[in-house]
Amino acid sequence: GAVVSQHPSWVICKSGTSVKIECRSLDFQATTMFWYRQFPKQSLMLMATSNEGSKATYEQGVEKDKFLINHASLTLSTLTVTSAHPEDSSFYICSARGRAGPTDTQYFGPGTRLTVL
């Protein structure tokens, strides 16, 4: 099956710093990538959808200036948490979907645990 990787798998940073998380589709071209946030014992909440070469579409309530998403190639999307604060601590998961569009399956990365001190 398709493989999606994330890097780093965990990161600890000081309040006020920025953190970049990478999401890569390793063996397929991902025209669309998704970023989710998962709180403990809760479901995945979609933060934004990004299509290669275009601006990301953010879900209601997600600050686009705080969570910068770049989908520069068909295999790489990045999420940058700018000026991170403790309330941004969470588990961030990306997924990628291939060229078949909405009828294609989303494949998920292993997630990145962000802890902001």
| Residue 29 binds another protein (CB under 8 A) | no
**What letters, b where the CB count within 10 A reaches 16 and e where it falls short, cover 76-111?**
bbbbebeebeeebbbbbbbbbbbeeeeebebbbbeb
Q: Interacting stretch for another protein, rule CB under 8 A, among 21-29, 69-77, 80-88, 99-107?
A: 99-107
Per CB under 8 A, the list member of 1, 40, 61, 86 interacting with another protein is 1
**What is each CA distance from 7 to 10, 54, 79, 104, in whole angstroms?**
8, 22, 11, 24
110 binds another protein (CB under 8 A): yes
Residue type, 111: G
- 8-state DSSP, 59: P
Choose the binding region for another protein from 13-21, 69-77, 80-88, 105-113 (rule: CB under 8 A).
105-113
Interface residue with another protein, options 14, 43, 61, 65 (CB under 8 A): 43
Virtual CA dihedral for 36, 40, 41, 44, nearest 10 degrees?
0
Beta carbon of residue 21, minimum distance to another protein (angstroms, whole number): 14
| Site of interaction with another protein (CB under 8 A) | 1, 4, 32, 34, 41-46, 49, 57, 59, 93, 95, 102-103, 105-111
